Amino acid sequence: MQGTTPEFIRWALAHECPLRDFPKWKDPNKTERHLRAIRVYQNAVQDSRVLDGIAIEPLVSSDVVPNEVLGFRVDDVFEFYGDPSSVASICEPCPANAVRQSDSQAWVGCFGLMPVSNIVLPDLVDEVPVGTVDLREQLELLLTQQPYLEESIRTCFPRTSPEWYGLWISRVPSIKQRQIQLQVVNELLKVVPCAITPPWEAFQSALRLSVDRKIPLHIQLVPEAVTDGVYWYVDQHCGRCCAISTALTHTGQQCQVCKNEGRPREPQRRFVRGKRPYWKMTRFLGAEGTSKYLERYLKQKG
Ligand SMILES: [Zn+2]
Ligand SMILES: [Zn+2]
Ligand SMILES: [Zn+2]
């Protein structure tokens, strides 16, 4: 799994709830780490990949190597949260469930990752296998057409070039700032030359809920990165606006995007988030158990 990851906005609505009972629960990264497995479980249910309390990864062909196949026990994922029905009863009425605005089944919809660039265009797949839309560029274009929007950005956010970065410098934007961020995202999604993908929609809903229901929103801009499947490498970037520091964007003493003085942050290396909660099925079912499970699963799948 080599490749690049786009710039992201990591977000989480800071709404207190029994599922977010962990240290630094407002932090978007911590929230994702703690709750992502529930989404992974829900995806498996939606794809009919749960049988006898065990979820199995999507199979590319029925020609499976039992020793390689990945899965997880549903009970293991829910160990910390009760069970699926107790999660449902917490998340269904939750005012911070932004994902539920577009997917009525969704639980743990209070956090997400919104890609900023290098997005596959699902509606153009036939013509362009991997197209790119860059919200940073889309914003520059938009502002040339909507000077009043540019004006309100300039009054409420630090000045940056491109203006995109100024919008996300504050980790916990004020309600006034969230109103403008919502306006920006609404306008951007009207003009992007592709279908609106679910992660965009979720962020838009999160901003709307955070404004309408006055729920604080926590944001982290994550710079684009390269991965070799094990690690994830982020280049030097500005510690304030998080723009990648190149010869064009940083003098070594000053960020040219946000004018912050000081050296850029050193390159970072982190583990990729991996396949959790999936792991080798043979590790928890044994070789024979896995073969039997696969037989049953493939049979009912037809
Ligand atoms: Zn809640
Ligand atoms: Zn929640
Ligand atoms: Zn900067």
**pLDDT, tens digit (0-9, with 9 covering 90-100), for 25-42:** 999 999 999 999 999 999
Q: Provide the pLDDT confidence category of residue 197 given band limits of 50, 70 and 90.
A: confident
Q: What percent of the chain has pLDDT over 90?
A: 77
Long-range contacts of 91-98 (CB under 8 A, 24+ apart): 91/19, 94/15, 94/17, 95/15, 95/209, 95/213, 95/215, 96/13, 96/15, 96/17, 96/209, 96/213, 96/215, 98/13, 98/202, 98/203, 98/205, 98/206, 98/208, 98/209
pLDDT for residue 129: 36
Least confident of 62-66, 131-135, 157-161: 131-135
pLDDT for residue 232: 85
pLDDT for residue 119: 61
CA 99 to ligand 1 centroid distance, Å: 12
CA 255 to ligand 2 centroid distance, Å: 36
pLDDT for residue 123: 45
Which residues hold their Cβ within 5 A of ligand 3, which is an ion? 238, 240-241, 255, 257-258, 260
On the question of pLDDT at 168 being above 80, the answer is yes
208 neighbors 214 (Cβ within 8 angstroms): no
CA 220 to ligand 3 centroid distance, Å: 14
CA 13 to ligand 2 centroid distance, Å: 8
Whole-angstrom distance, CA of residue 95 vs CA of residue 110: 9
pLDDT for residue 124: 40
Across 267-273, average pLDDT = 84
CA 217 to ligand 3 centroid distance, Å: 21
Higher pLDDT, 136 or 302: 136
pLDDT for residue 23: 94
pLDDT for residue 126: 41
pLDDT for residue 272: 77
Across 245-252, average pLDDT = 95
Q: How many of the other CB atoms lie within 10 Å of CB of 154?
A: 13
CA 244 to ligand 3 centroid distance, Å: 8
Residue appearing with tokens 């004020």: 174
- Complex ipTM, two decimals? 0.84
pLDDT for residue 2: 67
Residue 75 main-chain phi, psi, to 5 deg: -60, -35
Report residue 257 as tokens. Answer: 């995007």
Across 185-209, average pLDDT = 90
Whole-angstrom distance, CA of residue 87 vs CA of residue 78: 9
Across 267-277, average pLDDT = 84
pLDDT for residue 239: 95
Whole-angstrom distance, CA of residue 41 vs CA of residue 51: 12
Sheet strands (E) in 81-230: 111-115, 217-222, 225-227
Which three-class secondary structure state does DSSP give residue 269? strand
pLDDT for residue 82: 86
Chain mean pLDDT for the chain? 91
pLDDT for residue 1: 53
pLDDT for residue 118: 61
Whole-angstrom distance, CA of residue 264 vs CA of residue 239: 6
CA 88 to ligand 2 centroid distance, Å: 11
pLDDT for residue 257: 97
Higher pLDDT, 245 or 2: 245
CA 254 to ligand 3 centroid distance, Å: 8
CA 113 to ligand 2 centroid distance, Å: 15
Report residue 214 as tokens. Answer: 């006055």
pLDDT digit string (tens) for 95-152? 999 999 999 999 999 999 998 876 654 444 344 334 478 899 999 999 999 999 999 9
Q: Provide the pLDDT confidence category of residue 196 given band limits of 50, 70 and 90.
A: confident
The b-or-e profile of 112-147 (16+ CB within 10 A means b, else e) is: bbbbbbbbebeeeeeeeeebebbbeebbeebbeeee
On the question of pLDDT at 51 being above 80, the answer is yes
